[in-house]
């Protein structure tokens, strides 16, 4: 049995992932943005006895608290960085710390949790096929110079999630670190007309988090439905990975151990 932390798991693919892992006999630490969503989450999990950590990933202070809560539970065998916000934002918004909101939640929070949660054996970062349209530049991650484009901002962050996964794989060879494209499915983010198989959406991240199959013990890979795929060419550039980590460390004030 493995213990797995899943961010953004009060609904959607994250909740499906947690339920699937529970059915397989694993111990799951769920995550909700606030206490109200945590209460709803406990009601949605069979038995109502879900282990839940609470914190808004748009807040660096709450993200640090979330990491502390997770560490008090004990060491997790895997962390699935599932949480994210989508591209349907007509204007640039900022977090309580003043960072562009999409980057703050989708990238910066994932970095902070990677740095602060006791190091697991496996890390899985949720990306998207839209990462291939991302801009591999850190010159304006906060969108203070460019004209706002919500879809582009989302694509950029999903690209950076893959860059982060690969950078961690290089820096921490004792940790299996991978990125997953769950497919375009009919969640609140994906919309009702999304064409991909909803039932398949949580399978690959669960497999990478807990499976003893040889393929699942890979690192530095980009996966779609348990098949390794090529990612954006920039994700293999170690300089971009190093620069992203430096950028996130500077913006958050949290250094990456090791």
Q: What is the pLDDT of residues 31-41, one digit of tens each?
A: 999 999 999 99
Per DSSP, the chain holds a count of helices (H) and strands (E) of 8, 8
Residue 257 lies in a domain: no
In the residue annotation, 154 being an active-site residue is answered as: yes
Identify whether 258 is part of a domain: no
Judge whether 215 lies within some domain.
yes
Q: Which among 111, 125, 145, 158 is annotated as catalytic?
A: 158
Instruction: Give a yes or no: residue 131 inside a domain.
Output: yes
Q: Is 210 within a domain?
A: yes
Q: How many domains are contained in the chain?
A: 1
More confidently predicted of 1 and 50: 1
Q: Residue 30 pLDDT more than 70?
A: yes
| Average pLDDT of the segment spanning 89-104 | 96
pLDDT (average), residues 177-204: 72
Within 10 A of 47 (CB to CB), how many other CB atoms are there? 7
Task: Give the SS3 label for residue 84.
Answer: coil
> How high is the mean pLDDT of the chain?
93
224 annotated active-site: no
Beta-strand pair 222-224/227-229: antiparallel
Structure tokens belonging to residue 136:
């591999």
Residue 92 CA, distance from chain mean position: 21
Q: What distance in Å separates the CA atoms of residue 25 and residue 88, rounded to the nearest whole number? A: 36
pTM, rounded to two decimals: 0.95
Instruction: Print the domain residue range for 49.
Output: 3-252
If you count them, how many residues does the chain have?
A: 258
Which CATH number fits the domain that encloses residue 181?
3.40.50.720
Which residue(s) pair with 27 in the sheet?
Answer: 3
Q: Which listed residue (111, 125, 154, 222) is catalytic?
A: 154
Q: What percent of the chain has pLDDT over 70?
A: 93
Say which residues have a Cβ less than 8 Å from residue 217's Cβ, sequence separation at least 6.
176, 211
Give the pLDDT confidence score for residue 186 in this predicted structure: 42
């Amino acid at each position: 049995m493995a213990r797995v932390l899943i961010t953004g798991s009060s609904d959607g693919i994250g909740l499906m992932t947690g339920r699937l892992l529970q059915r397989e006999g694993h111990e799951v630490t769920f995550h909700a943005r606030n206490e109200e969503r945590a209460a709803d989450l406990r009601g949605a999990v069979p038995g109502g006895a879900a282990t839940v950590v609470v914190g808004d990933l748009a807040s660096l202070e709450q993200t640090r608290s979330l990491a502390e809560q997770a560490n008090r539970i004990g060491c997790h065998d895997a962390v699935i960085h599932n949480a994210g916000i989508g591209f349907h934002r007509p204007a640039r918004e900022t977090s309580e710390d003043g960072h562009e909101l999409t980057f703050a939640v989708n990238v910066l929070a994932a970095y902070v949790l990677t740095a602060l949660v006791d190091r697991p054996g496996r890390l899985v970062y949720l990306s998207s096929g839209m990462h291939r349209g991302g801009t591999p530049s850190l010159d304006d991650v906060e969108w203070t110079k460019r004209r706002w484009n919500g879809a582009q901002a989302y694509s950029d962050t999903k690209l950076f999630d893959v860059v982060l996964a690969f950078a961690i794989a290089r820096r921490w060879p004792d940790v299996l670190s991978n990125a997953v494209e769950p497919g375009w499915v009919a969640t609140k983010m994906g919309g009702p007309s999304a064409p991909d198989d909803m039932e398949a959406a949580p399978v690959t991240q669960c497999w990478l988090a807990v499976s003893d199959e040889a393929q699942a013990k890979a690192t530095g890979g980009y996966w779609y439905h348990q098949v390794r795929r090529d990612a954006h060419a920039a994700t293999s550039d170690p300089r971009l990975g190093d620069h992203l980590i430096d950028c996130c460390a500077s913006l958050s004030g949290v250094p990456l151990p090791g």
